[in-house]
Structure 1
Amino acid sequence: MSPRGVPMTDVRRQLFDAAERVLVREGPGALSGRAVTREAGCATGLLYNHFPDFDEFLAEFVLDRVRPTADRLALLPGRAGAGTVSGNLTDGATLLLEPTPLALTNLVRARPPLLHRMHTVAREEMPELHAGEAAFADYLDAEKALGRVAADTDAEAVALALVGAVHQLLLSHPVDEPDLRGRIERVVTVLIKGLATAE
């Protein structure tokens, strides 16, 4: 049933929640306007009352759903000085392997034009899509200030390498592989070898 009279933000949330459930459960190939509205339990036309087409819906959906992961990654620099450098970086990297971030990555990969549409919708740099790189770089800079990472460390380059390595793991290994975190730990260890001054 179409929730007539419900504020648009509530409709958007309902549709985005439904899209996330379909995407995580069935993958990007199952995601369609009909599948979303069926999952949401509302009339098929409701989606198009609020979005000009399905591609714009998907663009806004992805931007909305990457923000929680971006917010969690933004907390990483606050962990500087606690635990170990490798452990903190590994914890941050494994956030990218959780079901929703992983499903969103698969969606964008399955629909290459979607990234361009997201830029059009956002009309900005979309910092959420670079949250991993930014968080890892800021974290390493914070550890440099504390003397736990070598002062000449190129934090941005290490951050980019780490995000790239995680993406390669996602492309080449099943996400339910038992030792995926272990692989990430090994990558982190190699990346920061000689950089961490106190582990």
Structure 2
Amino acid sequence: MPRGVAIPEVRQQLFAAVEQLVVRDGPGKLSGRAITGEAGVATGLLYAHFADFDDFLAAYAVDRSFLISAAAAALPERAGTGTVAANVCEALLSTPPGTLLALSRLIAARPRLPDKIRAVLGDRTAGLEAVENAATAYLTEEQRLGRLAEAADPAALALAVVGVLQRVALSGTPDLGARVRPAVTALLDAVTSGKAPAE
């Protein structure tokens, strides 16, 4: 890259590079040089935008956690429409698989990252916590509407469906939906009342 040439959206370019590296090689081999090499930019560019390597990884984790949170935020508004399982699956699968895999692996490898995410985005927003919270709120509302069995535990179900998502994402399967949808549907259909959705 010639000197003096502006690189648009360099932060997102670097974030995409770390994501590709973690998905392909795991988090153990991450370095500033590896990331800038993957991004096709000068090595020093990362440190021109971030205080240090840990600051860069924290910024990536915050950015992707925000995307996951935003994607799940609309789930409670779907209560009473469609089917319970389909609504939950849509929310679970709204984030690209590579993002889920990279963020999950990175958080597992660097346990202090969730604290840094919470410091920026607030409590219960690190990684898939936002999805779990949205699913709990959604299932609670469906229970109030009579579409989820009274004996069901919305919080426990939310934890279970997010657990399915994380387990499948960490496996690196190329078709996330093909494994997540049947498992989540089987889990939720067992406690869904079958009441017709609202018109």
TM-score w.r.t. length of structure 1: 0.75
Supply the distance in 2 between the matched residues of 1:100 and 1:71 (Cα, whole angstroms).
14
The separation in 2 between residues aligned to 1:117 and 1:2, in whole angstroms, is: 35
Query: In the comparison of the two structures, how many residue pairs are matched?
Result: 195
Question: What per-residue deviation string (whole Å, max 9, x for no partner) do you get for residues 111-138 of structure 1?
Answer: 3343344445x27325253111112112
Q: CA offset at residue 64 of structure 1?
A: 0.4
In terms of fraction of residues, the more helix-rich structure is: 1
C-alpha contact (below 8 Å) 1:81/1:148 kept by paired residues: yes
Task: Label 1:2 to 1:55 Cα distance change in 2 as closer, same or farther (>3 A).
Answer: farther
Q: What is the aligned partner in structure 1 of residue 143 from structure 2?
A: 144
Pairing of 1:73-152 with structure 2 (within 5 A)? 73-95=72-94, 98-119=97-118, 122=120, 124-125=122-123, 127=125, 129=127, 130-151=129-150
Q: Describe how 1:17-96 pairs up with structure 2 within 5 A.
A: 17-95=16-94
- Residue type at the aligned position of 2:33: R
Counterpart CA distance in 2 for 1:48 and 1:2 is 18
Offset of 1:3 from its aligned partner?
Answer: 6.9
Q: CA 1:146 to 1:124, structure 2 compared with 1: closer, same or farther past 3 Å?
A: closer
Aligned position for 2:178: 181
- Is residue 27–residue 109 contact of structure 2 (8 Å, CA) maintained in 1? yes
Alpha-carbon spacing, 1:89–1:37, altered in 2? closer, same or farther (3 Å): same
Closer, same or farther: CA 21–179 of 1 in aligned 2, 3 Å: closer
Query: Percent identity, aligned pairs only?
Result: 39
Q: Distance in 1 between matches of 2:19 and 2:3?
A: 19
| Counterpart-to-counterpart distance in 1, 2:88 and 2:131 | 10
* Whole-angstrom distance in 2 between the partners of 1:13 and 1:182: 29
Q: Secondary structure at the match of 1:127?
A: coil
Deviations, residues 64-111 of structure 1 (Å, cap 9, x unaligned): 022222222222223322322122223333446712112211122233
Q: 2: CA distance between counterparts of 1:80 and 1:134?
A: 15
Letter in 1 for 2:30: L
CA RMSD of aligned residues (A): 3.3
The answer as to whether partners of 2:97 and 2:176 remain within 8 angstroms in 1 is: no
Gaps of 5+ in 2: none
